[in-house]
Amino acid sequence: MIRKKILLIGDFHVGKTSLIRRYVDHAFDDTYLTTIGVKISRKKLLLDHKEYELLIWDLEGATPQKSIPKTYYRGASGAVFVGDVSRLETIRNLDAHIAAFKEVNPDSVHVIAHNKADLLQLDQTNRFQNLENTFLTSAKEDINVDKIFTTLAKEIFHD
């Protein structure tokens, strides 16, 4: 079975752990428990009748005091960059996270999750980019969660 390492990267409290929990365990908990260090979750998936495994690294979020150690980036095939639509600075910071990740993994692929979409009114969703690899997601309402991971997985495994 082919296994690949992917990362969830973004500022703290944008919902990285919740997205993984929704994707891997089909569960959601509203309580904020900050992640420290890294935790790896496994997820098997079938693509074109073949079984693959994603090793999903849930990284401690970047804070004003501490950036994400680049040693975690090593050997990753892809990443989900996560921002919180209710804190636009976390969306603005995504470019810097992507650049830092691509420096270590120039050939990797990525998707962008504009998370906590459940907090937006319908007309507010138009303000967010609707690009090919960018999705409005909600771990709470289970919006586009499978989609971001399968989109990324397809790009990784088909490559």
Q: Which residues bind to other proteins, rule: CB under 8 A? A: 3-5, 12-13, 32-34, 36-40, 42, 55, 60-61, 63-65, 69, 71-72, 74-77, 87, 89
> Shortest approach of other proteins to residue 130 CB, angstroms?
26
Nearer to other proteins among residue 76 and residue 145 (C-beta)? 76
> Shortest approach of other proteins to residue 61 CB, angstroms?
8
> Shortest approach of other proteins to residue 113 CB, angstroms?
19
Q: What is the DSSP letter of 13?
A: T
> Shortest approach of other proteins to residue 2 CB, angstroms?
11
Q: Which residues neighbour 117 within 8 Å (Cβ) at sequence distance 6 or greater?
A: 85, 125, 136, 137, 138, 141, 143, 144
> Please, which residues bridge with residue 6 across strands?
56, 78
Nearest partner of 88 among 110, 53, 115, judged by Cα:
115
Nearer to other proteins among residue 69 and residue 130 (C-beta)? 69
Alpha carbons 38 and 145: distance in angstroms, whole number: 20
Nearer to other proteins among residue 57 and residue 81 (C-beta)? 57
Quote the radius of gyration of the chain (alpha carbons, Å). Answer: 15
Question: H-helix or E-strand containing 24?
Answer: helix 16-25
> Shortest approach of other proteins to residue 5 CB, angstroms?
4
Question: H-helix or E-strand containing 151?
Answer: helix 145-158
Nearer to other proteins among residue 119 and residue 147 (C-beta)? 119
Nearer to other proteins among residue 127 and residue 147 (C-beta)? 127
> Please, which residues bridge with residue 93 across strands?
none
